[in-house]
Structure 1
């Protein structure tokens, strides 16, 4: 038999999947972000149990993907540093708070600075390491900050700082 038709990975129960990269260092999270990570972990663990209970388990890829996701979620939770935004006063923009800004044309926008894992631009949630969050952190109402974007600099005036809706 030709070597071209021999499955050298035969006997391997686990397909090779690349690991999800885990950023180094602490993982600041809001209480909502911590709860979301815990819920995702519980869902993936339940999915893995269901996958292993399948009568036909010839395709191991879904199980391997679930195991990989569980490892990633456990690493993110282990590095989690919960920060309760309710403890922040509203004198300056800080992690977990919502800031309302106006651009040079007077258009207003609201952004919430959240943990990296819960950032979602479509919901106005931005990670603290993003250029916009870096420009806003520490600003006070009335301050004008410069947001350095790929499309060019934009001046934003801080109109308000508030706690996020629960």
Structure 2
């Protein structure tokens, strides 16, 4: 089963910037350090060489992942959303729970989530429960700790253009 990999333009730009930085800056410096360390002789006890090779594997793994994400990404611009009163991908939603505690979230691609910044993936339980909702709707989310109800207070999208 192929899973759609939706992402916002800003999220794609962040991933592209990380890829470019790792590939164009960090990796060449690391390869240079490894070459220098290898030229120093005995590699079995050479910390710079051993650590450098390990770090290079980690970096190449991350580059491979980012490349895969960029290749399969479907960039969706939330500012182009036509039905702006309904919750869809890219919406910024203000919610109130049963205790009237408010929280604002933005529904983004799964590869650009950051809970501390209020960005949650579109396939998260809360997002799935909210998608299709409108202001005034009450949505119930099944969480590991039990069910929780939220009322949709507002729905906003980035300005068009």
Q: Please report the TM-score for the alignment, with normalisation by the length of structure 1.
A: 0.82
Describe the superposition over 1:104-148 as per-residue Cα deviations: whole angstroms up to 9, x where unpaired: 111111010001111111111111111100111110011000011
Asked whether 1:146 is paired with 2:140, we answer yes
Cα contact 1:98–1:111 (8 A) shared by 2 = yes
Helix, strand or coil for the counterpart of 1:94?
coil
Task: State the 4+ residue runs in structure 1 displaced beyond 3 angstroms.
Answer: none
Cα contact 1:139–1:158 (8 A) shared by 2 = yes
Q: Match of 1:25?
A: 3
Q: Match of 1:76?
A: 69
Q: Match of 1:61?
A: 54
Describe the superposition over 1:62-118 as per-residue Cα deviations: whole angstroms up to 9, x where unpaired: 111111111111000000100000011321111111000111111111010001111
Q: Please report the TM-score for the alignment, with normalisation by the length of structure 2.
A: 0.84
C-alpha RMSD of matched pairs (Å): 1.6
Q: Match of 2:131?
A: 137
Asked whether 1:43 is paired with 2:43, we answer no
1:163 deviates by 1.9
Cα contact 2:108–2:120 (8 A) shared by 1 = yes
Cα contact 2:92–2:106 (8 A) shared by 1 = yes
Partner Cα distance (1:157, 1:127) in 2? 19
